[in-house]
Amino acid sequence: MPPPMRMFHKLLLATALGSAGCAHVDPRLFAPMQPDGWRAQPVAIACRFASDAALDPATRTPVGNDGYNLYLLTKAAAWDYRNTRSYLVSHARQPWGHSWLILESPTNRLECGLNGNFGREKPKYGDGVSRKLRDGDPNPISYLWETMSDGEIEIGNGRRTPTFVWRMPITMRQHQLIYAQVMHWPYDRIGVTTNNCIDFVADAAAAAGLSLIHRVRLTIPSDIKILGKTWHMWTDPQYRIIEYSTADLLETDLRHLARFGIGRDVTAWYLASKLAAPKLKDSGSAGDRSSERAEDVR
């Protein structure tokens, strides 16, 4: 018989596949406190631009040197945060999201991101929670706070097709700062709550003077009921709230910025370029080949 978490996932997936709906579901990113104790709240930012950001004095939008650009790419998971059940069903339908970047200068273009959770030294996050459930641990969800040591830089897009691509001009100095950050990022330290792929690109934007909305704070019920089964998630209240970065929230913020002239939507350009993953090898959420070797941590 499969471990409890895998059985749980199979039940959720069956529910998801049995539900009417389209292939891509827009994420619902906020939920007030629900009767079972569930709540989802995007984490606000204090200020959009750093004091030393390179901005046009008239429009207050980013400017840069010719040929220098930062691209942020997202593959949204379309998780639905409205309540416990909608979140779990949407998570079962598409278990991961991802984000990566392109750093461009007049003479070079580097496309890369952070990948990990390969299960080399510790069980993958899903397997670790499953093991704790199977062992009767009073806090099975606590495994999501573990830090993995198997992260690595991933050059290119990992055969992923982004759902959104955003471009912002940067200065030569900002390019140097981001490049140094990419070269010295602690890739071997990766986690759900910190140092995941969205944190990686958000820190690159921060080096260019821009703060992004990309983190969500979840309040998790101690007991989750679905399909007649109760799953005990935590006993210690320190595991009641988890905060992490998500591709859905990042993409929503980037789309918002593009609509107001801060950066540009260049998704069509990317998908038509040689940078895009081969169409015949990318079958969307169910066939992303990179997920066969790693569960992306977002």
**pLDDT for res 278:** 63
235 vs 277, more confident: 235
Per-domain boundaries in the chain? 4-292
Residue 11 pLDDT: 38
d(CA 81, CA 31): 6
Average the pLDDT over 91-104 and give the result: 92
SS3 label, residue 193: coil
pLDDT at 277: 67
- Amino acid 27: pLDDT: 60
Specify the pLDDT at position 4: 45
The candidate with the shortest Cα–Cα distance to 83, out of 226, 213, 194, 215, is 226
- Nearest CA to 157 out of 121, 201, 199 is that of 201
CB 88 within 8 A of CB 226: yes
